[in-house]
């Protein structure tokens, strides 16, 4: 991989957690991999009054705690830190953008960074339009002497209307190809590998359609609760926090048509088409096709775990869902009639994100099977943890007769010797510096995802009678979600089923 062109990265909201936990450690990793530009510097801005030294100290702590390096090479660290500076500013005050412009022009001259500026808004969403508007008014988004790019991170609005407004306002001062919307799932190696699995292998793609696939299941389970994000989460919920973005991105990559080339817009066109083909769930169908749940107090390994409503920052009468499972269809030629099931939740028994392609059974059963289920052949794409791919198929049990047993063919990323898997932020920041937006969400894709989510939100808001099921922390969510899956003997894949109460958290 080549080094990107020279640039300055300007991080707004630089005193926050995202900067010290994710962005700076990822940039430092890029430095270690020799993937930072020759001439490069970082300007952190936020309201807090930091001296340069104090800010750099905080960044060093972030690198030590979150970079994933056991031993930090002192020389590399110092030369990285020498490239960081800090400016305190009021991000809502137009006058401060003049000062910022002056600082960036001076920094450009000093470091020879070629007038290329990448703005990263690590701020609350309410600031996106304010900051981009001021950047535009101060002329800092004009690409006269170098590129100007802006990275923002979800949430992109809280519904279709606000997402459209955000897009409209961004496009007043920037063009679409200057805007990089991060969905960190797209930066995950295994998510990118979905494209390779599907389109670099002759054996899967011919089967990847309604003729051979019985149903598709996507799970993203987390064992953590809402931690210290109760206030944010309570106004968001699992549907908007995880489904609108991460899960629908996985759906679009799983279901998209092969793009004509790896060009960013060709790929994003195909993904967007999938989201535009999602069959909207009607108001009266929401109760049937969308199961929502909220975790209640329980014990895990003997330790009491508070219920969601007892979490800090959460309304004690909250109706916010911490679990959601949805059944839906994609109305297009490839997927007509194939049900998709997706689910996500907090305080489930383990951390796992996986996509399972359940293939149809053979049309005629010659052999007795140990397990009689439709999903005898499954392709399990493990996004995290234990990244890899598992193919389940039937084999003859040695001995008399023809008894078929399901066996596994299993590939683990960890078996690749000497291969370092970069973090999502490394990949995404590198791509933004390279001007490659393939792994970023486009405005119309985000809007298409909201078009699917909005009717569900409306139905919940308008019909308080739609149940929100309680589930004990540490279990797999409401049992009602099992009823979503149609077909004899069919249920979700439970990566750690048959757990005793003692062992609700398991390692995969």
Rounded least distance, CB 353 to ligand BG6, Å = 6
Q: Which C-beta is closer to ligand BG6: that of 222 or that of 426?
A: 222
The contacts of residue 206 (CB under 8 Å, 6+ apart) are none
Report if residue 222 touches ligand BG6, rule: CB under 6 A: yes
Rounded least distance, CB 462 to ligand BG6, Å = 26
Spatial separation of the C-alpha atoms in residues 195 and 172, rounded to whole Å: 33
Active site residue 246: yes
Residue nearest to ligand BG6 (CB): 241
Rounded least distance, CB 295 to ligand BG6, Å = 14
Rounded least distance, CB 357 to ligand BG6, Å = 21
Q: Which helix (H) or strand (E) holds 42?
A: strand 40-46
Spatial separation of the C-alpha atoms in residues 324 and 478, rounded to whole Å: 9
Report if residue 426 touches ligand BG6, rule: CB under 6 A: no
**Of 384, 383, 291, which Cα lies nearest the Cα of 341?**
291
Q: Which C-beta is closer to ligand BG6: that of 102 or that of 414?
A: 414
Q: Which C-beta is closer to ligand BG6: that of 222 or that of 431?
A: 222
Spatial separation of the C-alpha atoms in residues 100 and 82, rounded to whole Å: 19
Catalytic residue among 134, 184, 214, 246: 246
Burial class (CB in 10 A: 0-12, 13-18, 19+), 146: middle
Q: Which C-beta is closer to ligand BG6: that of 167 or that of 245?
A: 245
Per CB under 6 A, contacts with ligand BG6 among 129-158 are none
The contacts of residue 61 (CB under 8 Å, 6+ apart) are 20
Q: How many residues are given for the chain? A: 508
Per CB under 6 A, contacts with ligand BG6 among 345-364 are 353
Q: Which C-beta is closer to ligand BG6: that of 65 or that of 137?
A: 65
Report if residue 387 touches ligand BG6, rule: CB under 6 A: no
Per CB under 6 A, contacts with ligand BG6 among 230-269 are 241
Query: What is the maximal distance between C-alpha atoms in the chain?
Result: 84
Annotate each residue in 26-55 with x if it binds ligand BG6 (CB under 6 A) or - if it does not, as one string: ------------------------------
Which letter does DSSP use for residue 281 in this model?
P
Rounded least distance, CB 248 to ligand BG6, Å = 13
**The pair of three-digit structure tokens given for residue 347, joined into one six-digit string:** 């305080």
Size of the site for ligand BG6 (CB under 6 A): 3
Is there a contact between 12 and 440 (Cβ–Cβ < 8 Å)?
no
Q: Which C-beta is closer to ligand BG6: that of 100 or that of 424?
A: 424
Spatial separation of the C-alpha atoms in residues 340 and 275, rounded to whole Å: 13
Q: Which helix (H) or strand (E) holds 358?
A: strand 352-359
Rounded least distance, CB 222 to ligand BG6, Å = 5
Rounded least distance, CB 241 to ligand BG6, Å = 5
Pairing of strands 179-182, 148-153: parallel
Residue 400 dihedral angles phi and psi, to the nearest 5°: -65, 155
Rg, the chain, Cα only? 24
Q: Please give the full DSSP string across 283-344, using - where no structure is assigned.
A: GGGHHHHEEEEEEE-EEETTEEE--GGGSTTS-TT----SEEEEEE-B-STTTTT--EEEEE
Rounded least distance, CB 139 to ligand BG6, Å = 33
Q: Which C-beta is closer to ligand BG6: that of 119 or that of 425?
A: 425
Q: Which C-beta is closer to ligand BG6: that of 156 or that of 492?
A: 156
Active centre residues (catalytic): 246
Judged by the rule CB under 6 A, the positions of this chain that interact with ligand BG6 are 222, 241, 353
């Amino acid at each position: 991989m080549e080094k990107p062109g020279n640039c300055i990265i300007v991080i707004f909201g630089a005193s926050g957690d995202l900067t010290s936990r994710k962005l700076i450690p990822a940039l430092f990793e890029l430095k270690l991999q020799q993937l930072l530009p020759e001439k490069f510097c970082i300007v952190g801005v936020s309201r807090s009054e930091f001296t340069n030294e104090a800010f750099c100290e905080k960044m060093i702590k972030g690198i030590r705690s979150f970079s994933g390096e056991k031993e930090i090479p002192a020389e590399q660290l110092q030369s990285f830190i020498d490239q960081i500076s800090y400016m305190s500013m009021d991000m809502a005050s137009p006058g401060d953008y003049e000062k910022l412009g002056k600082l960036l022009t001076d920094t450009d001259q000093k470091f020879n960074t070629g007038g290329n500026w990448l703005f990263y808004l690590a701020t609350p969403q309410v600031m996106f339009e304010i900051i981009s508007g001021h950047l535009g008014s101060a002329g800092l988004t004009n690409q006269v002497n170098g590129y100007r790019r802006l990275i923002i991170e979800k949430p992109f609005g809280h519904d279709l209307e606000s997402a459209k407004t955000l897009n409209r306002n961004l496009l007043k001062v920037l063009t679409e190809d200057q805007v990089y919307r991060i969905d960190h799932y797209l930066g995950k190696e295994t998510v990118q590998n979905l494209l390779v699995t599907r389109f670099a292998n002759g054996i899967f793609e011919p089967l990847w359609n309604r003729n051979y696939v019985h149903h598709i299941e996507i799970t993203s389970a987390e064992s953590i609760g809402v931690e210290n994000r109760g206030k944010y989460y309570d106004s968001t919920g699992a549907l908007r926090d995880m489904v609108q973005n991460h899960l629908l991105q996985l759906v679009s990559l799983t279901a998209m048509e092969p793009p004509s080339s790896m060009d960013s817009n060709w790929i994003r066109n195909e993904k967007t088409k999938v989201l535009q083909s999602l069959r909207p769930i009607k108001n009266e169908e929401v109760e049937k096709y969308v199961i929502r749940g909220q975790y209640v107090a329980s014990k895990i390994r003997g330790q009491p775990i508070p219920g969601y409503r007892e979490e800090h920052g959460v309304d004690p009468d909250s109706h916010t869902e911490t679990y959601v499972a949805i059944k839906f269809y994609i109305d297009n030629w490839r997927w007509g009639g194939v049900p998709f099931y997706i689910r996500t939740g907090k305080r489930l028994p383990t951390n796992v994100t996986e996509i399972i392609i359940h293939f149809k059974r053979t049309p005629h059963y010659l052999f007795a099977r140990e397990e009689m289920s439709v999903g005898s052949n499954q392709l399990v794409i493990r996004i995290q943890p234990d990244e890899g791919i598992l193919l389940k198929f039937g084999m003859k049990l040695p001995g008399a007769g023809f008894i078929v047993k399901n066996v596994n063919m299993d590939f683990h990323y960890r078996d690749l010797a000497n291969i370092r898997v970069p973090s999502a932020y490394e990949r995404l920041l590198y791509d933004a510096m390279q001007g490659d937006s393939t792994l970023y969400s486009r405005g119309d894709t985000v809007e298409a995802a909201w078009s699917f989510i909005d009717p569900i939100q409306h139905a919940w808001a308008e019909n308080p009678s739609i149940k929100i099921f309680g589930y004990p922390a540490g279990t797999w969510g409401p049992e009602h979600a099992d009823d979503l899956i149609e077909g004899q003997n069919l249920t979700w894949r439970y990566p750690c089923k048959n757990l005793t109460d003692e062992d609700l958290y398991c390692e995969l």
